Amino acid sequence: MNVTEEAERQDLALRPTYLSINFKSLFMELLDKLPIVLLCGVLAGLVSFLLYANVIGPDYVSTTKIYVLPQNDESTITYSDLEVGQQLTNDYIEIIQGRTVVEKTIGFFGLDESYESFCKRLTVENQSDTRILSISVEDKDPITARNLVIYLRTTAISAIEDGMSVEGITVIEEANLPTDPETSSLFVAVLAAFVVCCLMVLGICIHYIVIDRIVTADDIEERLGLTVLGSILYEGQEQGISVPWKQTHSSGRSAEDFRSLRANIELCGAENHVFAFTSCSPGEGKSTISLRIAVELAKTGKNVLFIDGDMRMSVFSEKLGFQEDENTGLSEVLSGREQADDLIYESDIDHLSLLLSGKRPPNPAGLLSQKAFRSLLEQVRENYDYVILDMPPIGSVIDSAIIGQMCDGVVLVIGSNMVSGRMASKAIQQMQRANCNLAGAVLNKVRMSNRTLYGTYGTNKYYYTSYTSSYGEESGNRS
């Protein structure tokens, strides 16, 4: 490593680490937990309803109405009279809700509550475009509610007449004896419990999703129990699939990482020649790593065949320079339409050959589960020292489990700070159920600071329906 490369590494190590959260993927993970969130909200609402109905008890509301501006002696009412009436109505509301009237009512009934507490049960409203005031009082007992509003109304009328020298305020609607409880308070209580509980559970889920990240190689070994075959340094930007034979030289920061990974692949055993690469979710870089390892193995003089095993959403053919009608490969071989020898391409790198995914079949999993795929692997074993397969993400479709059980080893690529430990564990369990031989894991996109320190937390889970990738430059030619 030269001085410049060492300086670049130190520069990366000193850069601050930022919180990295993909909000689209976070939303998708939260969508998974939506039933749990809603269930907790419903249970909270039910508990609130039971407490309100059996402990707090329902409220009954009694209402009376008064006419607050007496008729003029004249037979007509002018606009000025109406305007003055509206102003006086606001004055009357202040008197009714005033401390004098309310405290006198509290004292008369011997209530053990404050002025502020009683005001929460008192409602005084002006009917729109009228000079009518509506006075309402809530109480747990309907008779008490009516008695309170009658006494308060009488006290208020007396206060208005004495304080403002007004006579003839008319009661136009007597206080009613409520028979049905007020349900608005119950609805508000239940709704509040539902919303608050949902937000709390949602916050817990977000906290769990964000902190449960696989960030370092230690996380893989300690939490997942897998051997770490390699750790690939983050290059500083998302480049998608690079085309190695278009490059004049490898990046100094990551070239050594890939050479180390290649050495560990070779150390998996002389009898192991067919390796499949997969990931928990799209975007973790398993396609780039599998192609680069194929290149590294070919550079050692080994004959290597790279197979694009993603027949659902592969973009290898386009990025490697093939037209759409030239994309013939694995799907055609497995369906019996073509022979593998006729569809294998030679790359510009010595000893490296390619077999594309082919046109997308209606049932990729069905093709992979047939004997034709096993026969293909047996055939290429005899002709190549190593066979590297790029598989779809194991967390998205069943294809990877089918391919993996026919290979000598499966390598799980995990993007640093991109997937949760729970998601990675599920991927491992799925491969184990399919009897796949897990060779180990590769930690990809590692920031320099995370080689010695635990980095920030993020998330990058997608569903296969939104599986898209960007794979860099184009290359490759037909032999």
DSSP string, 354-413: EE---SPPS-HHHHHTSHHHHHHHHHHHHH-SEEEEE---TTT-SHHHHHHTTSSEEEEE
Least confident of 9-23, 88-102, 156-170, 250-264: 9-23
Q: Evaluate if residue 13 carries a pLDDT over 60.
A: no
Task: Output DSSP code: residue 315.
Answer: -
pLDDT grade, residue 126 (50/70/90)?
Answer: confident
Mean pLDDT value across residues 29-47: 87
Residues 6+ apart with CB under 8 A from 1: 252, 256
CATH number of 59-182: 3.30.1890.10
Planar angle of CA 96, 98, 100, nearest 5 degrees: 100
* Superfamily of structural domain 213-466: P-loop containing nucleotide triphosphate hydrolases (3.40.50.300)
Query: Is the distance from CB of 41 to CB of 204 less than 8 angstroms?
Result: no
Helix 79-96 / helix 142-164 crossing angle, nearest 10 deg: 120
Fill in the amino acid letter for 175: A
Query: Is the distance from CB of 133 to CB of 93 less than 8 angstroms?
Result: yes
The percent of residues in the chain predicted with pLDDT above 90, rounded, is: 23
pTM of this structure:
0.56
Query: Could you tell me the maximum CA-CA distance found in the chain, to the nearest angstrom?
Result: 116
Question: In the prediction, which pLDDT does 34 show?
Answer: 87
pLDDT grade, residue 282 (50/70/90)?
Answer: confident
Question: φ, ψ for residue 315 (rounded to 5)?
Answer: -120, 15
d(CA 82, CA 48): 46
d(CA 387, CA 294): 8
d(CA 281, CA 396): 7
Q: Which residue has the higher pLDDT, 15 or 34?
A: 34
Helix 3-14 / helix 252-266 crossing angle, nearest 10 deg: 90
Mean pLDDT value across residues 355-376: 83
Question: In the prediction, which pLDDT does 456 show?
Answer: 34
d(CA 323, CA 144): 86
Q: Which two tokens stand for residue 29?
A: 């993970």
Q: Evaluate if residue 411 carries a pLDDT over 80.
A: yes
Residue found by looking up tokens 């009237």 in the block: 101
- Edge to edge, what strands does the sheet with 304-308 contain? 228-233, 438-446, 409-415, 274-279, 386-390, 304-308, 352-355, 344-346
**pLDDT digit string, tens, across residues 309-323:** 888 877 676 677 666
Question: In the prediction, which pLDDT does 449 show?
Answer: 54
Q: Which residue has the higher pLDDT, 75 or 305?
A: 305
Question: In the prediction, which pLDDT does 470 show?
Answer: 32
Consecutive H or E run containing 126 = strand 122-126
Q: Evaluate if residue 243 carries a pLDDT over 50.
A: yes
Query: Is the distance from CB of 132 to CB of 153 less than 8 angstroms?
Result: no
- In order of 207, 224, 367, 419, 455, the CA distances from 219 in angstroms are 18, 7, 36, 12, 11
Query: Is the distance from CB of 304 to CB of 384 less than 8 angstroms?
Result: yes
Q: Where are the domains of the chain?
A: 59-182, 213-466
The percent of residues in the chain predicted with pLDDT above 70, rounded, is: 74
- 3-state class of 307 per DSSP? strand
Least confident of 113-127, 129-143, 199-213, 280-294: 199-213
The residues that bridge with 173 in the sheet, in sequence order, are 65
d(CA 448, CA 446): 6
Question: CB atoms < 10 A from the CB of 324, how many?
Answer: 8
Consecutive H or E run containing 432 = helix 421-433
Q: Which two tokens stand for residue 254?
A: 């990551």
Residue found by looking up tokens 């055939």 in the block: 379
The residues that bridge with 125 in the sheet, in sequence order, are 134
**pLDDT digit string, tens, across residues 213-237:** 788 888 888 888 889 999 888 765 5
Q: In 267-370, which ranges are continuous DSSP H helix?
A: 286-299, 316-319, 330-334, 340-343, 364-368
Q: State the pairing for strand pair 304-308/60-67.
A: unpaired
Task: Output DSSP code: residue 326.
Answer: G
Q: Evaluate if residue 45 carries a pLDDT over 70.
A: yes
Q: Which residue has the higher pLDDT, 463 or 288?
A: 288
Question: Which of 373, 438, 380 lies closest to 406 in space, CA to CA?
Answer: 373
Give the mean pLDDT of the chain.
77
Q: Which residue has the higher pLDDT, 232 or 243?
A: 232
Question: In the prediction, which pLDDT does 77 show?
Answer: 52
Consecutive H or E run containing 23 = helix 23-32
Question: In the prediction, which pLDDT does 165 show?
Answer: 67
d(CA 136, CA 388): 80
Question: Which of 454, 459, 443, 423 lies closest to 210 in space, CA to CA?
Answer: 459
Instruction: Bin 262: left if φ > 0, else alpha if -120 < ψ < 50, else beta.
Output: alpha
